[in-house]
């Protein structure tokens, strides 16, 4: 869908600063803004991207005062986070109505493409305009939604759920009960203290040679994609939130949880029950021991981290020795 700045201002009860005829047809995170896209700025942490963004339209709070020149046309609203929630809901409703209208006449089963030697188990479902690669195995009671693209030699174990729009590479294994591509946990506060659900219009993209364990979950992005790199290994009962990026060949043990918009580097190792806060960056080759809690960026690669919040493992052992010694006195 294409929006003009003027229309957005009317819909969101805001004002336009710049070209009211500026148009955008896609949503993008502020750090990825480019011509033809619409972004929003609500977290002060992302202010540097306001000045480098190439987005056509940027939704901001009405009292935001830029410190440098801004390229996008600004739509000023009472609360940018609530406004983007309202706009995403409006867009999702429009898409649902268009989909229902098309489905009345579309023969969806003719649009689904299966490669050579694909196995489809009993009571499994594959949606319209979905492509399944050669030699893939879809066991019983698997759900794969519309507009998905599945690579070659993949295995979906019983009860796996793949939501619409998901892209999965070659040689991927999805174990029983795993859910991939559903809405992330996004809610905007209303003035009365209740919560407005934020629609998620992005998807999940999984690379090649990835394994996702039983009952693990990967949220779709609010906009753009949640990305799982090549060779990633995800154990059972792990949770990866919306807009995360997991670097190639990273592994995580059971009950690891990663909050939204966090970027994890390549070749990282997370022990069981590791918890990582949102909007963080974790450097390549970082090891976080079991039950580690990460609340800040880890910019130096190759470290082994322990504790909650995590610190360097050697420092932790020294501190623990003193703590233990004091407790025994």
Q: Rounded to whole angstroms, how far apart are CA atoms 151 and 284?
A: 27
Task: Report in angstroms the alpha-carbon separations of 220 from 75, 180, 239, 248.
Answer: 26, 7, 12, 19
Tokens of 307: 């504790």
Answer for the pair 143, 161: CB distance below 8 angstroms, yes or no: yes
Three-state helix/strand/coil letters over 102-133: HHCCCCHHHCCEECCCCEECCCCEECCCCEEC
Q: Catalytic residue, from 139, 157, 175, 242: name it.
A: 242
Q: Rounded to whole angstroms, how far apart are CA atoms 141 and 151?
A: 20
Q: For 220-234, give the DSSP string.
A: PPSSSEEEE-TT-EE
Q: What are phi and psi of 95, to 5 degrees?
A: -65, -40
Answer for the pair 118, 138: CB distance below 8 angstroms, yes or no: yes
DSSP 8-class letter at 8: H
Active site residue 242: yes
Residues tagged active-site: 242
């Amino acid at each position: 869908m294409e929006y003009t700045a003027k229309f957005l201002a009317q819909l969101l009860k805001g004002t336009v600063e710049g070209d009211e005829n500026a148009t955008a047809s896609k949503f993008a995170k502020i750090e990825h803004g480019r011509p033809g896209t619409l972004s929003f700025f609500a977290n002060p942490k992302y202010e540097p991207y306001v000045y480098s963004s190439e987005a056509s339209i940027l939704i901001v709070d009405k009292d935001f005062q830029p410190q440098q020149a801004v390229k996008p046309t600004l739509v000023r609203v009472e609360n940018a986070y609530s406004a983007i929630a309202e706009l995403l809901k409006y867009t999702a409703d429009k898409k649902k109505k268009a989909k229902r209208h098309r489905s009345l006449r579309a023969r969806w089963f003719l649009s689904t493409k299966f490669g050579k030697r694909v196995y489809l188990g009993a009571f499994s479902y594959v949606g319209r305009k979905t492509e399944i690669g050669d030699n893939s195995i879809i066991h019983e009671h698997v759900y794969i939604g519309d507009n998905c693209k599945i690579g070659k030699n993949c295995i979906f174990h019983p009860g796996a759920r793949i939501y619409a729009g998901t892209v999965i590479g070659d040689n991927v294994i999805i174990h029983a009960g795993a859910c991939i591509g559903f809405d992330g946990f996004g809610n905007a506060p209303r003035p009365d203290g209740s919560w407005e659900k934020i629609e998620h219009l992005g998807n999940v993209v999984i690379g090649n040679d990835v394994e996702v364990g039983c009952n693990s979950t990967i949220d779709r992005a609010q906009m753009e994609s949640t990305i799982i790199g090549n060779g990633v290994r995800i154990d059972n009962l792990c949770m990866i939130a919306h807009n995360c990026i997991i670097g190639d060949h990273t592994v995580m043990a059971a009950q690891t949880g990663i909050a939204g918009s966090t970027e994890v580097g390549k070749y990282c190792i997370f022990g069981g029950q590791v918890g990582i806060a949102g909007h963080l960056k974790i450097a390549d080759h970082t090891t976080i021991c079991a039950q580690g809690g990460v609340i800040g960026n880890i910019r130096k690669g190759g470290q082994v981290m322990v504790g909650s919040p995590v610190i360097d493992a050697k420092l932790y052992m020294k501190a623990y020795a003193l703590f233990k010694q004091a407790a025994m006195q």
